[in-house]
Amino acid sequence: MGRHYYIAGNWKMHKTRTESAELAQALVTELKDGKHEYLVAPSFTNLETVSAIVEGTNIRLGAQNCACEEQGAHTGEVSVLQLKDLGVQTIIIGHSERRHTYKEDDALINKKVKLALKHGFEVILCIGELLEEREAGKVEEVCERQTVKGLEGVSAEDLANVVIAYEPVWAIGTGKTATPQDAEAVHAFVRKVIARLYGNEAAQKLIIQYGGSVKPDNAAQLMAMENIDGALVGGASLKTDTFVPIAKFS
Ligand code: PEP
Protein backbone atom coordinates (compact mmCIF):
# COMPACT_ATOMS: atom_id res chain seq x y z
CA MET A 1 0.00 0.00 0.00
CA GLY A 2 2.99 2.27 0.39
CA ARG A 3 1.63 4.17 3.40
CA HIS A 4 3.75 4.93 6.40
CA TYR A 5 3.22 6.82 9.65
CA TYR A 6 3.81 10.54 9.55
CA ILE A 7 3.93 12.50 12.80
CA ALA A 8 3.92 16.28 12.59
CA GLY A 9 4.25 18.94 15.28
CA ASN A 10 2.53 22.28 14.78
CA TRP A 11 4.17 24.72 17.17
CA LYS A 12 1.63 27.43 16.35
CA MET A 13 2.49 30.89 17.75
CA HIS A 14 4.75 29.52 20.47
CA LYS A 15 8.45 29.83 21.21
CA THR A 16 11.19 32.33 20.63
CA ARG A 17 14.07 31.55 18.28
CA THR A 18 16.19 30.22 21.14
CA GLU A 19 13.37 28.02 22.44
CA SER A 20 12.64 26.71 18.94
CA ALA A 21 16.30 25.90 18.41
CA GLU A 22 16.45 24.00 21.72
CA LEU A 23 13.38 21.94 20.92
CA ALA A 24 14.50 21.22 17.35
CA GLN A 25 17.94 20.17 18.54
CA ALA A 26 16.47 17.86 21.16
CA LEU A 27 14.12 16.28 18.62
CA VAL A 28 16.95 15.69 16.14
CA THR A 29 18.76 13.73 18.85
CA GLU A 30 15.74 11.88 20.22
CA LEU A 31 14.20 10.95 16.87
CA LYS A 32 17.31 10.06 14.90
CA ASP A 33 16.45 6.37 15.16
CA GLY A 34 12.70 6.94 14.89
CA LYS A 35 10.91 4.62 12.51
CA HIS A 36 8.30 7.01 11.19
CA GLU A 37 8.34 10.21 9.15
CA TYR A 38 8.49 13.47 11.13
CA LEU A 39 7.86 17.15 10.65
CA VAL A 40 8.03 20.28 12.78
CA ALA A 41 6.28 23.53 11.87
CA PRO A 42 7.66 26.51 13.81
CA SER A 43 6.52 30.12 13.42
CA PHE A 44 7.72 31.93 10.29
CA THR A 45 10.24 33.94 12.33
CA ASN A 46 11.90 30.75 13.58
CA LEU A 47 12.01 28.82 10.31
CA GLU A 48 15.53 29.85 9.34
CA THR A 49 16.93 28.85 12.73
CA VAL A 50 15.13 25.50 12.77
CA SER A 51 15.95 24.88 9.11
CA ALA A 52 19.68 24.87 9.87
CA ILE A 53 19.09 22.34 12.67
CA VAL A 54 16.84 19.83 10.89
CA GLU A 55 18.52 19.99 7.48
CA GLY A 56 19.80 16.55 6.47
CA THR A 57 17.95 14.80 9.34
CA ASN A 58 14.79 12.68 9.32
CA ILE A 59 12.71 15.69 10.40
CA ARG A 60 11.03 17.73 7.69
CA LEU A 61 10.55 21.47 7.97
CA GLY A 62 7.00 22.78 7.71
CA ALA A 63 5.38 26.21 7.61
CA GLN A 64 1.99 26.80 9.20
CA ASN A 65 0.51 28.82 6.36
CA CYS A 66 1.40 30.72 3.16
CA ALA A 67 0.01 33.54 1.07
CA CYS A 68 -2.22 32.69 -1.87
CA GLU A 69 -0.12 34.82 -4.24
CA GLU A 70 3.51 34.38 -5.21
CA GLN A 71 4.54 37.95 -4.38
CA GLY A 72 3.32 41.51 -4.49
CA ALA A 73 1.52 44.07 -2.36
CA HIS A 74 0.29 41.76 0.42
CA THR A 75 1.26 43.37 3.71
CA GLY A 76 1.92 40.88 6.46
CA GLU A 77 1.78 37.79 4.24
CA VAL A 78 4.57 35.28 3.57
CA SER A 79 5.12 33.84 0.11
CA VAL A 80 5.95 30.35 -1.05
CA LEU A 81 9.11 31.75 -2.66
CA GLN A 82 10.28 33.04 0.72
CA LEU A 83 9.44 29.73 2.38
CA LYS A 84 11.32 27.77 -0.25
CA ASP A 85 14.34 30.01 0.28
CA LEU A 86 14.38 28.99 3.97
CA GLY A 87 14.35 25.27 3.23
CA VAL A 88 10.68 24.70 4.01
CA GLN A 89 9.47 21.43 2.48
CA THR A 90 5.85 21.24 3.61
CA ILE A 91 3.08 23.78 4.15
CA ILE A 92 0.11 23.23 6.45
CA ILE A 93 -2.92 24.75 4.73
CA GLY A 94 -6.47 25.22 5.99
CA HIS A 95 -5.78 24.65 9.68
CA SER A 96 -8.99 25.16 11.65
CA GLU A 97 -7.54 28.28 13.27
CA ARG A 98 -6.99 29.72 9.78
CA ARG A 99 -10.49 28.66 8.68
CA HIS A 100 -12.41 29.81 11.73
CA THR A 101 -10.41 32.55 13.47
CA TYR A 102 -9.03 34.11 10.28
CA LYS A 103 -12.03 33.27 8.10
CA GLU A 104 -10.21 31.47 5.32
CA ASP A 105 -12.73 29.84 3.00
CA ASP A 106 -12.45 26.80 0.76
CA ALA A 107 -11.69 28.92 -2.32
CA LEU A 108 -8.76 30.70 -0.65
CA ILE A 109 -7.46 27.44 0.78
CA ASN A 110 -7.68 25.83 -2.66
CA LYS A 111 -5.68 28.70 -4.17
CA LYS A 112 -2.96 28.22 -1.56
CA VAL A 113 -2.93 24.44 -2.06
CA LYS A 114 -2.45 24.80 -5.82
CA LEU A 115 0.25 27.45 -5.45
CA ALA A 116 2.19 25.41 -2.90
CA LEU A 117 1.99 22.29 -5.07
CA LYS A 118 3.07 24.26 -8.14
CA HIS A 119 6.21 25.24 -6.25
CA GLY A 120 6.99 21.66 -5.28
CA PHE A 121 5.93 21.72 -1.63
CA GLU A 122 4.22 18.92 0.18
CA VAL A 123 0.85 20.16 1.45
CA ILE A 124 -0.90 19.09 4.63
CA LEU A 125 -4.52 20.01 3.94
CA CYS A 126 -6.50 20.23 7.18
CA ILE A 127 -10.18 19.44 7.26
CA GLY A 128 -12.64 18.88 10.08
CA GLU A 129 -16.06 19.72 11.43
CA LEU A 130 -17.18 22.08 14.20
CA LEU A 131 -19.01 20.63 17.20
CA GLU A 132 -22.36 21.98 16.01
CA GLU A 133 -21.78 20.38 12.61
CA ARG A 134 -21.07 17.03 14.29
CA GLU A 135 -24.19 17.39 16.44
CA ALA A 136 -26.23 18.19 13.34
CA GLY A 137 -25.00 14.99 11.64
CA LYS A 138 -22.96 16.91 9.07
CA VAL A 139 -19.50 15.40 9.60
CA GLU A 140 -19.34 13.70 6.20
CA GLU A 141 -20.89 16.63 4.36
CA VAL A 142 -18.34 19.08 5.83
CA CYS A 143 -15.31 16.83 5.38
CA GLU A 144 -16.31 15.96 1.84
CA ARG A 145 -16.81 19.61 0.93
CA GLN A 146 -13.49 20.70 2.43
CA THR A 147 -11.67 17.84 0.70
CA VAL A 148 -13.28 18.28 -2.72
CA LYS A 149 -13.03 22.08 -2.74
CA GLY A 150 -9.57 22.11 -1.19
CA LEU A 151 -8.29 19.85 -3.96
CA GLU A 152 -10.22 21.33 -6.88
CA GLY A 153 -7.91 21.44 -9.91
CA VAL A 154 -5.18 19.37 -8.23
CA SER A 155 -3.85 16.77 -10.67
CA ALA A 156 -3.43 13.10 -9.84
CA GLU A 157 0.32 13.62 -10.08
CA ASP A 158 0.25 16.46 -7.55
CA LEU A 159 -1.95 14.47 -5.18
CA ALA A 160 1.15 12.42 -4.40
CA ASN A 161 2.41 15.51 -2.53
CA VAL A 162 -0.76 15.94 -0.51
CA VAL A 163 -1.41 14.73 3.02
CA ILE A 164 -4.82 15.23 4.59
CA ALA A 165 -5.13 15.96 8.30
CA TYR A 166 -8.55 15.22 9.77
CA GLU A 167 -8.87 17.51 12.77
CA PRO A 168 -12.32 17.72 14.33
CA VAL A 169 -12.38 21.32 15.53
CA TRP A 170 -13.97 20.42 18.87
CA ALA A 171 -10.97 18.22 19.66
CA ILE A 172 -8.25 20.78 18.94
CA GLY A 173 -6.59 22.11 22.06
CA THR A 174 -9.55 21.01 24.18
CA GLY A 175 -8.21 17.78 25.67
CA LYS A 176 -11.16 15.99 23.99
CA THR A 177 -10.05 13.37 21.49
CA ALA A 178 -12.22 11.63 18.94
CA THR A 179 -12.46 7.96 19.80
CA PRO A 180 -10.27 5.85 17.54
CA GLN A 181 -13.48 4.40 16.06
CA ASP A 182 -15.04 7.80 15.35
CA ALA A 183 -11.82 9.09 13.81
CA GLU A 184 -11.42 5.91 11.76
CA ALA A 185 -14.93 6.27 10.35
CA VAL A 186 -14.12 9.75 9.03
CA HIS A 187 -10.69 8.71 7.72
CA ALA A 188 -12.25 5.80 5.83
CA PHE A 189 -14.90 8.14 4.45
CA VAL A 190 -12.30 10.69 3.28
CA ARG A 191 -10.32 7.91 1.61
CA LYS A 192 -13.50 6.94 -0.25
CA VAL A 193 -13.94 10.52 -1.42
CA ILE A 194 -10.35 10.50 -2.70
CA ALA A 195 -10.95 7.15 -4.45
CA ARG A 196 -13.94 8.65 -6.23
CA LEU A 197 -11.88 11.66 -7.33
CA TYR A 198 -8.51 10.04 -8.09
CA GLY A 199 -9.03 6.28 -8.14
CA ASN A 200 -8.46 3.57 -5.62
CA GLU A 201 -4.70 3.29 -5.96
CA ALA A 202 -4.16 6.99 -5.22
CA ALA A 203 -6.58 6.77 -2.30
CA GLN A 204 -4.73 3.82 -0.81
CA LYS A 205 -1.45 5.73 -1.00
CA LEU A 206 -2.80 8.91 0.61
CA ILE A 207 -1.59 9.63 4.13
CA ILE A 208 -4.39 10.83 6.40
CA GLN A 209 -3.24 12.20 9.75
CA TYR A 210 -5.49 12.63 12.75
CA GLY A 211 -5.27 15.79 14.84
CA GLY A 212 -7.04 16.84 18.00
CA SER A 213 -5.52 16.45 21.45
CA VAL A 214 -3.19 13.62 20.48
CA LYS A 215 -1.16 12.72 23.57
CA PRO A 216 1.32 10.00 24.50
CA ASP A 217 -1.46 7.94 26.10
CA ASN A 218 -3.84 7.92 23.13
CA ALA A 219 -1.47 7.95 20.13
CA ALA A 220 -1.01 4.19 19.79
CA GLN A 221 -4.76 3.44 19.90
CA LEU A 222 -5.42 6.01 17.21
CA MET A 223 -2.54 4.81 15.01
CA ALA A 224 -3.77 1.23 15.30
CA MET A 225 -6.76 2.09 13.14
CA GLU A 226 -6.47 1.02 9.53
CA ASN A 227 -6.99 4.44 7.97
CA ILE A 228 -5.11 6.60 10.48
CA ASP A 229 -1.61 7.13 9.14
CA GLY A 230 -0.13 9.57 11.59
CA ALA A 231 -0.86 12.64 13.63
CA LEU A 232 -0.80 16.40 13.46
CA VAL A 233 0.01 17.40 17.01
CA GLY A 234 -0.44 20.84 18.55
CA GLY A 235 -0.03 21.26 22.31
CA ALA A 236 1.84 18.02 22.88
CA SER A 237 4.41 18.90 20.20
CA LEU A 238 5.83 21.75 22.29
CA LYS A 239 7.83 19.53 24.62
CA THR A 240 10.07 16.56 23.98
CA ASP A 241 8.50 14.79 26.99
CA THR A 242 5.18 14.63 25.18
CA PHE A 243 6.14 14.72 21.49
CA VAL A 244 8.83 12.05 21.52
CA PRO A 245 6.58 9.30 22.97
CA ILE A 246 3.95 10.15 20.35
CA ALA A 247 6.57 10.16 17.60
CA LYS A 248 7.94 6.82 18.80
CA PHE A 249 4.60 5.13 19.47
CA SER A 250 4.58 1.45 18.79
C1 PEP B 1 -3.69 21.25 15.96
O2 PEP B 1 -3.75 22.44 16.19
O3 PEP B 1 -3.44 20.87 14.82
C4 PEP B 1 -3.92 20.33 17.05
C5 PEP B 1 -4.27 19.11 16.74
O6 PEP B 1 -3.78 20.81 18.34
P7 PEP B 1 -3.85 19.96 19.70
O8 PEP B 1 -2.98 18.75 19.49
O9 PEP B 1 -3.33 20.88 20.74
O10 PEP B 1 -5.28 19.59 19.90
Is residue 40 a contact partner of residue 62, using CB atoms and an 8 Å limit? yes
Question: Which amino acids bring their CB within 6 angstroms of ligand 1?
Answer: 10, 167, 172-173, 211-214, 232-236
Percent of the chain topping pLDDT 70 = 99
Residue 121 CA to ligand 1 center (angstroms) comes to 22
- At 177 the pLDDT is 86
pLDDT in tens, 94-107: 999 999 999 999 99
Is the pLDDT score of 2 beyond 80? no
- Among 159, 131, 156, 143, which residue's Cα sits nearest to residue 106? 143
pLDDT band at 250 (very low <50, low <70, confident <90, very high): confident
pLDDT band at 1 (very low <50, low <70, confident <90, very high): very low
SS3 145: helix
Note the CATH number of domain 6-247.
3.20.20.70
Domain spans in the chain, listed from the N-terminal domain onward: 6-247
pTM equals 0.98
Separation CA 46–CA 54 (nearest Å):
12
Q: Whose CA is nearest to atom 4 of ligand 1?
A: 234
pLDDT in tens, 18-63: 999 999 999 999 999 999 999 999 999 999 999 999 999 999 999 9
Is the pLDDT score of 199 beyond 80? yes
SS3 223: helix
pLDDT in tens, 139-183: 999 999 999 999 999 999 999 999 999 999 999 989 888 899 999
Separation CA 202–CA 194 (nearest Å):
8
Q: Whose CA is nearest to atom 3 of ligand 1?
A: 234
User: What is the chain's mean pLDDT, rounded?
Assistant: 97
Residue 72 CA to ligand 1 center (angstroms) comes to 32
- At 146 the pLDDT is 98
